[in-house]
Chain A
Amino acid sequence: MTQLQIIEKLRTMMRKSSQAQVDWDTVTADSSIASLGFDSLSILDLVYDIQQEFGFEFEAEELVGVKTVGQLADFLEKKQK
């Protein structure tokens, strides 16, 4: 899966989990995850969904420091290799 495909998949997942009013068509790699309505609690929901959706295990702690959709996609792209 390319990074673009991962971002597209993430966008779909985030749209499902986020409770914020977001124009999802404008979400890009540079969009901050926090700006998409994910706070310290709902980010855990997203991590759970990512682990299940992408079908591979990773330590949630590895996501410490990941702030944007692009950084998250980058992390997942490296993990799938």
Chain B
Amino acid sequence: MKKLRHLLEYCASLFGLFLLDRISPSTAEHLAIKMADLWYCFNSLRRQIACDNIRRSGITPSDSEVNRIARESFRHLAVLVVESLKSGNVFDENNWREKVEIDIHPETMEILKEPGRGVILVSGHFGNWEVAAQLLSYIKPVTGITRDMDNPYTDKLMKERKPRNRFQLTPKHDAGVDRLLSVLKNGEILALMIDQHAMGRGMAINFFGMPASTHTSPALLHLVTRAPLCFGYCIRKGPMSYKFKAIAPIIHKPTGNRENDVRVILEMLTIELENAIRQNPEQYLWAHRRWKIKPPSANQV
């Protein structure tokens, strides 16, 4: 039964990609928005999670504004998928600088351009993270970590379709410390997400004022490798139009108090993500359960 469902999903994905390849970006965007509206209408669970999360974040006290942001967030995700799949036909090594507004801090740009220097780039499920990785890979090879999709057929199809330049994805189950250190040693960009629920393994860091279990690896990798730590994201401005922003690199020297060092870095990164979300709340993935469980201990690393 499960296999049949997977095959049906695979066929639907194949048909979707076939259609996507034959329509213009603006038609694709229009269709994606219609699909997202249907999804928003019928998936009451995700809609509720998104609305609850927006309320908890305190971004707006207005219920109508909560609903608007939630609906726009669903639309943004649908457009993100479509534009990520189409971006390989739009951006290339020669034209991306003309098509994308770049707002990268000069020190960060210098580090990114330095050959052989590994960089830890932290972002969140905000803007278009897929396009962000693709664009960055035109400066320096990028390795990201991904969770395999439940459907192995669709997973394979999507991985084959995602635009590749010098952007690699490492499956989560294969992203051991050796692999992460090798990426940095090879002078590449290691792209990590700061806003994934880390369960009991994370550190409780306030996200919009409420503790959220946060992965400690971006901070620990910075502390033990001294690789520069940067925070960046790619905002969508319109159809296939983006602005890439990255702040100045974060440099934190180890003090001998590991937990405190990790906390300070994670708090800095989380505040940067919060600030970015406040400016464009519609481009955040609110339907994701960020505050899933209360971590067992506020001090646990």
Asked if A pairs with B, the answer is yes
Which residue numbers of A lie inside 8 Å of B, CB to CB?
40-41, 43-45, 47-49, 51-52, 57, 59-61, 63-65
5 tightest CB-CB pairs across the interface, nearest first?
Answer: A44-B220, A61-B185, A40-B176, A60-B224, A40-B177
If over half of A's interface residues share one DSSP class (helix, strand or loop), that class is named, otherwise mixed; here it is helix
Residues of A within 8 A of B256 (CB): 52
Residues A48 and B176 in contact in the complex (CB < 8 Å), given A61-B181, A61-B185, A61-B225: no
Residues of B within 8 A of A45 (CB): 220, 258, 301
Most buried by A among B175, B177, B223, B226: B177
Q: Report yes or no: A64 in contact with B201, Cβ–Cβ below 8 A.
A: no
Q: Report yes or no: A64 in contact with B224, Cβ–Cβ below 8 A.
A: no
Q: Report yes or no: A64 in contact with B185, Cβ–Cβ below 8 A.
A: yes
- Counting contact residues on chain B (CB < 8 A from A), the size range is 20 to 34
Nearest-Cβ distance from residue A53 to partner chain B, whole angstroms? 9
Cα–Cα distance between A43 and B220 once the two chains are bound (Å)? 10
Any A CB within 8 A of the CB of B217: yes
Q: Report yes or no: B181 in contact with A64, Cβ–Cβ below 8 A.
A: yes
Nearest-Cβ distance from residue B143 to partner chain A, whole angstroms? 14
19 intermolecular pairs with C-beta atoms under 8 Å apart:
A40-B178, A43-B177, A44-B177, A44-B221, A44-B224, A45-B220, A45-B258, A45-B301, A48-B220, A48-B261, A51-B254, A52-B256, A57-B226, A60-B181, A60-B221, A60-B224, A61-B181, A61-B182, A64-B182
Residues of B within 8 A of A52 (CB): 254, 256, 258
Nearest-Cβ distance from residue A4 to partner chain B, whole angstroms? 25
**A44's contact among B184, B217, B226, by CB below 8 Å, is which?**
B217
Query: A63's closest neighbor in chain B, by CB?
Result: B181
Q: Report yes or no: B258 in contact with A41, Cβ–Cβ below 8 A.
A: no
Cα–Cα distance between A65 and B176 once the two chains are bound (Å)? 12
